[in-house]
Amino acid sequence: RTTVTGLHHVVGTVAMGRNDDQPDSATNDFYILLNDHPSLDMGGKRFTDAQGTAAFGAVVAGMDVVKKINQQPVAPRAASPDNPLTKTQTLEPPIGIVRAYRVK
């Protein structure tokens, strides 16, 4: 949570999603923010419990690469009554992460 890491959901933040009604339910998917999203911070209005989502890192170099990845094709899916979107957020083909490391 942002109260633990001290990070906020701003451009370049590496964060994890969660289930709507389950704080601390993040498991293995992460995303990098391309815009500021303060509603995802602790106390934000994205979730009714105001717990926010995990923000655990930040891109310190290479945002141009992140933006290029964002422009890549995503996998299609069939629309359904509860989700009319026909695109996923899964890149197709996938793009591998060659290197990521902690900067102190």
Residue 58 has a pLDDT of 94
- Rounded-to-10 torsion of CA 36, 50, 70, 84: -130
Distance from C-alpha of 47 to C-alpha of 98, rounded to nearest angstrom: 33
Residue 19 has a pLDDT of 83
Average pLDDT over residues 74-103: 85
Residue 73 near residue 91, CB atoms below 8 Å: yes
pTM: 0.81
33-83 pLDDT per residue, tens: 999 999 999 999 988 999 999 999 999 999 999 999 999 999 888 888 888
Nearest to 39 by CA among 24, 26, 49: 49
pLDDT at 101 over 90: no
